[in-house]
Amino acid sequence: MLSNQISPTDAQLAELQAYPQNTPLVMLNILKFKAQTNTNETGQEAYTRYLKNATPFVEKSGGKVIWKGQVHSTVIGDSTNQPHVVFLVEYPTVNHFFAMVSNPEYQKIAGDRSIALEYGGLIACQNAQ
């Protein structure tokens, strides 16, 4: 079930810091938008603004979107509470990701992500051999 999770816990960040160095990192983003935000816009509208402003930071960090799609239907799982969008962003290393999210200029725009999302899952993935 998608619950109200938008930001990582300290334990989750500590676990990510243990990711293998010098190894590409792929972040699986699982998004469910709020129907209406406290800024009188839809969650999708707020997220579109966030994505427009965040893209230069992703690119500067060496990251790139490698796949994005709207969820059509859930075949196995909770189809009454499915996400709206999923996408994959690849970073050269975990340090590139941390450099991006800790950038003070990125932090200024990151609030739009929280405003937009009912659920914002972010799953760190490593290529399987």
Q: What is the pTM of this model?
A: 0.90
**pLDDT digit of tens for each residue in the chain (129 aa)?**
556 677 888 899 999 999 999 999 999 999 999 999 888 899 999 999 999 999 999 999 999 999 999 999 999 988 888 999 999 999 999 999 999 999 999 999 999 999 999 999 999 999 886
CA 100 – CA 62 distance, rounded (Å): 9
Of the candidate CATH numbers 3.40.50.300, 3.30.70.100, 3.30.70.1150, 3.30.110.30, the domain formed by 23-122 belongs to: 3.30.70.100
Give DSSP secondary structure letters for the chain.
---S--S--HHHHHHHHTSPTTS-EEEEEEEEE-SS-TTSS-HHHHHHHHHHHHHHHHHHTT-EEEEEEE----SSS-GGG--SEEEEEEESSHHHHHHHHT-HHHHHHHHHHHHHEEEEEEEEE----
- Domain ranges across the chain: 23-122
**Cα-to-chain-centroid distance, residue 3:** 15
